[in-house]
Amino acid sequence: MKKKVLFVCIHNSARSQMAEAFLNQLCPETFAAQSAGLEPGRLNPIVVEAMKEIGVDISGNRTKSVSEFVGHGFDYVVTVCDETSAERCPVFPGRTQRLHWGFADPSSFQGSHAEKLSRTRAVRDTIQAKIVEWCGEVCPRVPA
Question: Domain containing 34 — which CATH number?
Answer: 3.40.50.2300
Contact 88, 38 (CB under 8 A): yes
Torsion of CA 52, 12, 29, 127, to 10 degrees: 60
Structure confidence at residue 142 as a pLDDT band (50, 70, 90): very low
144 domain residue, yes or no? no
Mean pLDDT calculated for residue range 85-89: 59
pTM of the model: 0.90
143 domain residue, yes or no? no
Say if residue 56's pLDDT is above 90. Answer: yes
51 domain residue, yes or no? yes
Say if residue 89's pLDDT is above 90. Answer: no
The per-residue DSSP string of 67-99 comes to GGGTTS--SEEEE-S-HHHHTTSPP--SSPEEE
Phi, then psi, of 93 in degrees rounded to 5? -70, 165
Q: How many domains does the chain have?
A: 1
Catalytic residue set: 9, 81, 89
Q: Does residue 85 or residue 95 have the better pLDDT?
A: 95
93 domain residue, yes or no? yes
Q: Does residue 86 or residue 72 have the better pLDDT?
A: 72
Which residues is 58 bridged to in the sheet? none
Query: Structural domain of residue 52, as residue ranges?
Result: 3-138
133 domain residue, yes or no? yes
85 domain residue, yes or no? yes
Helical H segments across 1-144, by residue range: 15-26, 45-53, 83-86, 113-138
